[in-house]
């Protein structure tokens, strides 16, 4: 079995991510929003990474990459971090189709949960999946997420509005908000 780890994204990851995203562009069209052609280039990914790292510096996100055997194979991000009475974030992830079925995505989600709890001190993580994305739903269930609702026509991808299942996972930690 290949190893899986996650780490904070770095500017040098741009070229690899651009290659993976360009390769899987059609395979993921059903699940991801349309992007301009520049998004799939090393320069475009450098801009995305720069923005993600600014959000990280502001405490609004933890943008990571999924790594197997010293090779970047995807991304995992905790974004939209809210503090105060919420102490929550939003989990997003993807792994290159070349690495599907090997457990990397599930292990990356498990590692992201540890970061959310231990490093970010969050009380809750949320995620969304399209109704038909059974593989992602299985991973979320395996890691203790529960579905809590359906948003109809919530997400636009591949020329149509898609229904999405909303997921939640309460964590044991979380900073107690101070008045």
- CA-based nearest residue to 4, from 81, 90, 148, 107: 107
Q: Which CATH number fits domain 5-170: 3.40.190.10, 3.40.630.30, 3.30.450.20, 3.90.1300.10?
A: 3.40.630.30
* CA atoms of 179 and 123, how far apart (whole Å): 17
Averaged pLDDT for residues 108-136:
95
pLDDT confidence tier of residue 26, bands split at 50, 70 and 90: confident
Lowest mean pLDDT among 29-33, 37-41, 138-142: 29-33
Q: How many CB atoms lie within 10 A of CB 160?
A: 9
Cβ atoms of 121 and 177 within 8 Å: the answer is: no
pLDDT (tens digit, 9 = 90+) per residue, 67-104? 999 999 999 999 999 998 899 999 999 999 888 888 89
- 3-class state of residue 159 by DSSP: coil
pLDDT confidence tier of residue 173, bands split at 50, 70 and 90: confident
Separation in Å, CA 176 to CA 43, 54, 84: 40, 25, 8
Cβ atoms of 154 and 163 within 8 Å: the answer is: yes
Averaged pLDDT for residues 92-117:
92
Q: Give the pLDDT of residue 115.
A: 96
Helix axes 104-114, 134-142, angle to 10 degrees: 40
Q: Give the pLDDT of residue 108.
A: 97
Residue 66 has pLDDT above 90, yes or no: yes
pTM (2 d.p.): 0.91
Domain locations in the chain as residue ranges:
5-170
């Amino acid at each position: 079995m290949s190893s899986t780890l996650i780490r904070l994204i770095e500017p040098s990851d741009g070229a690899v991510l651009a290659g993976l995203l360009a390769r899987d562009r059609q395979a993921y069209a059903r699940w991801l929003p349309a992007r301009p052609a520049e998004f799939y280039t090393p320069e475009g990914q450098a801009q995305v990474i720069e923005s993600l790292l600014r959000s990280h510096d502001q405490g609004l996100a933890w943008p990571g990459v999924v790594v197997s055997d010293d090779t970047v194979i995807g991304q995992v991000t905790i974004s939209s971090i809210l503090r105060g009475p919420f102490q929550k974030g939003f989990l997003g992830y993807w792994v290159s189709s070349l690495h599907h079925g090997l457990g990397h995505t599930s292990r990356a989600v498990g590692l992201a949960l540890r970061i959310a709890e231990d490093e970010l001190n969050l009380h809750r993580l949320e995620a969304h999946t399209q109704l038909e994305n059974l593989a992602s739903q299985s991973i979320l269930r395996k890691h203790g997420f529960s579905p809590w609702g359906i948003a109809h026509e919530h997400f636009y991808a591949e020329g149509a509005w898609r229904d999405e299942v909303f997921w939640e996972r309460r964590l044991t930690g979380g900073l107690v908000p101070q008045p």
